Amino acid sequence: MTTTPLRVGVYVDVSNIHLNGGYRMQFDILRDFACRDGANPVHLNAYLAFDAQRAERDSGYRAGARQFHAALRDIGYKVIVKHVRWYTDEAGERYGKANMDLELAVDALLQGERLDRVLIASGDGDFAYLVRALQNRGCRTELIAFSNISSELRQEVDLFVSGYLIPGLLPVKSEQPWGTLESRLRGTCYHYDHDKGFGFLRYLKHIDPLLHITDARDPRSPYGTVFFHASQLPAGFDTRGLPSREHIFEFTLRPPAGEDKKDPSAAELAHVN
């Protein structure tokens, strides 16, 4: 018995992502995450602002924009560009506007009729109503963002995953591959013993369809667990907020902290978000 692959649409609010922690986001990894269960990427749309006035006088900006747009097209994205419009306020200050919310929302609504799943990359709360409209049409909605994410938008989607936690989506400075000893990883604290000063982090080992199996003890789970001691936390970090999914830590994966320990340990923790 054969099954038809799910039809997926990816809609990236590039300016929002770049301004809120995702400047080095890898668009090919985002595509792979959206298609993690063998889905067919029907639409891959990237919405960008382009300052034509700046491009006329700044050859570096002009060349960089062209290269970026070409690189996106090479990996399957349709690039939707909106020119920045310049205005002058009452104080005589010039400001530019190139909001792409309307274009993204209209495309997602029209194209969503023929999609099973839509992934939105943005933290903009204005998309909460778009999410509800897509869901009412029977379309599953997912959200990827990094920082300054609207709580309303997070609550509306069927799945939210922080872009910091997806392997390879935002590169880490590490000579070792993600998940191997001495590599740098990112994860969240799901347990913390305030009396004894230690806890456990959960991280995603690889992109996988079974994201809902968060218990790392389940052999099907794509998650790993690491032990950490409070001494490895950043100086001055307030542990009263732990455990929490809101705090994302980057850390170095080390062997178990003792002979009686089975979980690897986390060292040199840095607070990412």
**Residues 106, 158: one domain?**
yes
CATH classification of the domain holding 234? 2.40.50.140
pLDDT on residue 91: 66
More confident residue, 258 or 110: 110
**Residues 154, 234: one domain?**
no
Name the β-bridge partners of 88. Answer: 94
pLDDT on residue 207: 96
- Residue 147 covered by a domain: yes
- Residue 178 covered by a domain: no
Burial status of residue 63 (CB atoms within 10 A of its CB: 0-12, 13-18, 19 or more): exposed
Phi, psi (deg, nearest 5) at residue 13: -85, 85
Which of 131, 165, 199 is the last residue before a domain boundary? 165
- Residue 240 covered by a domain: yes
- Residue 42 covered by a domain: yes
Q: What is the rounded average pLDDT of the residues 93-105? A: 74
How many domains does the structure of the chain reveal?
2
**Residues 260, 205: one domain?**
yes
More confident residue, 162 or 95: 162
**Residues 203, 232: one domain?**
yes
User: Does residue 59 surpass a pLDDT of 60?
Assistant: yes
User: Does residue 259 surpass a pLDDT of 80?
Assistant: no
- Residue 1 covered by a domain: no
**Residues 65, 130: one domain?**
yes
CATH classification of the domain holding 31? 3.40.50.1010
User: What are the strands, taking DSSP E only, across 75-178?
Assistant: 78-83, 85-88, 94-97, 117-121, 140-145, 159-162
**Residues 81, 13: one domain?**
yes
**Residues 127, 208: one domain?**
no
User: Does residue 92 surpass a pLDDT of 80?
Assistant: no
- Residue 172 covered by a domain: no
Domain range for 190: 183-271
- Residue 176 covered by a domain: no
